[in-house]
Homo-oligomer: A and B are copies of this chain.
Amino acid sequence: VLSIFVVGHMRIQILSIGYELLIGRVVNTNASWLSAEATRRGHTVERIACVGDSESWIGSELDYSITSGAQIIITTGGLGPTFDDITAQAVAKALGRNLVLNEAAFTMVAKKYESLGLPLTPERRKMAELPEGSTPLENPVGTAPGFTLLHKGVRIVCLPGVPEEVKGMFLKHADTFLPQEGELFEQSVRVAGLPESTLAPLIAELVRKNPYVYIKSHPKGSEGESLIEVHVYTVSNNPRVRELCSSVAEKLRAEVVRIGGRVVD
């Protein structure tokens, strides 16, 4: 509906894998962290999905993401040594590729276990079996390597599930697959004394007139004693778009006062 971003961005979808997400044991902070990072870099996350450690559900999601226009698909989870870590094999199957022992990944895994003084069991070796044509991504925190591959023009990036490993691996490698294209530029307006439904038509009007600026209101109080935080933002390094963003926020402040509300800090 809204044009959130100016040109230059990539369209991203995130696929979080793991039954623990579907039984509510784990809150999907990986997806929100990655979304914030991607947004900050000037890209658009269009969709987030979570499915269990199931080849068929993972495969369907990849198909759906590719069909719906994703340029980058980032998965999290399912790269470890346990029986239900099946992301690599599910990705291979979905893309019609073989699952093969990746030499570079094997070196990474072997080194890790050597430094830990632990033997290289079949379960550990499995972490180096990647879809054919993948490039492994070194894991600066844990043992399982991530990997990335290009499939029919779509970049697929598979990260682990442990949040510290997701962050470490993303920050180490993101410049190669998700370069900085722009930066989030944001203005906040906090409105008191007006219910959200009174503010709504005012915001709608500003949105209609400014397609390159995104506006979102977050009610913080109740409809009775209202406090609404309005974020006016864009992801662009273009000074004109940033100026526009500031002027929309200024206009909003003036309108709020005009209809009897207050702008607070």
Interface residues of A (CB under 8 A from B): 1-2, 4, 19-29, 31-39, 44-55, 57, 60, 64, 68, 80-84, 86, 112-113, 116, 118, 121-124, 142-143, 162, 195-201, 203-204, 207, 214, 216-219, 222-224, 231
Other-chain contact of A201, B33, B37, B123, B218 (Cβ < 8 Å) = B123
CA of A66 to CA of B7, assembled, Å: 34
Additional A-B contacts beyond A81-B200, A116-B195, A118-B198 (9; CB < 8 A): A20-B218, A22-B44, A22-B46, A22-B48, A24-B39, A49-B49, A60-B68, A82-B203, A142-B223
Please provide the 3 A-B residue pairs with the shortest distance between their CB atoms, ordered closest to farther.
A24-B36, A83-B204, A24-B35
Say how far A112's CB is from chain B's closest CB, in angstroms.
Answer: 7
**A35 with B22: CB separation less than 8 A:** yes
Other-chain contact of A1, B21, B28, B84, B142 (Cβ < 8 Å) = B84
**A83 with B121: CB separation less than 8 A:** no
Given the known inter-chain contacts A32-B24, A50-B47, A82-B217, please indicate yes or no for A143 contacting B223, CB distance below 8 A. Answer: yes
Say how far A55's CB is from chain B's closest CB, in angstroms.
Answer: 7
30 interchain pairs, CB-CB under 8 A: A1-B52, A1-B55, A1-B86, A2-B19, A2-B84, A20-B216, A20-B218, A21-B35, A22-B35, A22-B39, A22-B48, A23-B39, A24-B32, A24-B38, A25-B36, A26-B32, A47-B50, A48-B50, A80-B219, A82-B200, A82-B203, A82-B204, A82-B217, A83-B200, A83-B201, A116-B195, A121-B198, A122-B201, A124-B197, A143-B223
Tallying the copies of this chain within the complex gives 2
Closest to A81 in B: B197
Say how far A57's CB is from chain B's closest CB, in angstroms.
Answer: 7
CA of A208 to CA of B134, assembled, Å: 30
Other-chain contact of A22, B22, B45, B118, B121 (Cβ < 8 Å) = B45
CA of A204 to CA of B53, assembled, Å: 14
Residues of B near A27 (CB, < 8 A) are: 27-29, 32
**A116 with B19: CB separation less than 8 A:** no
Say how far A193's CB is from chain B's closest CB, in angstroms.
Answer: 12
CA of A62 to CA of B81, assembled, Å: 35
Closest to A64 in B: B64
CA of A112 to CA of B151, assembled, Å: 53
Closest to A19 in B: B216
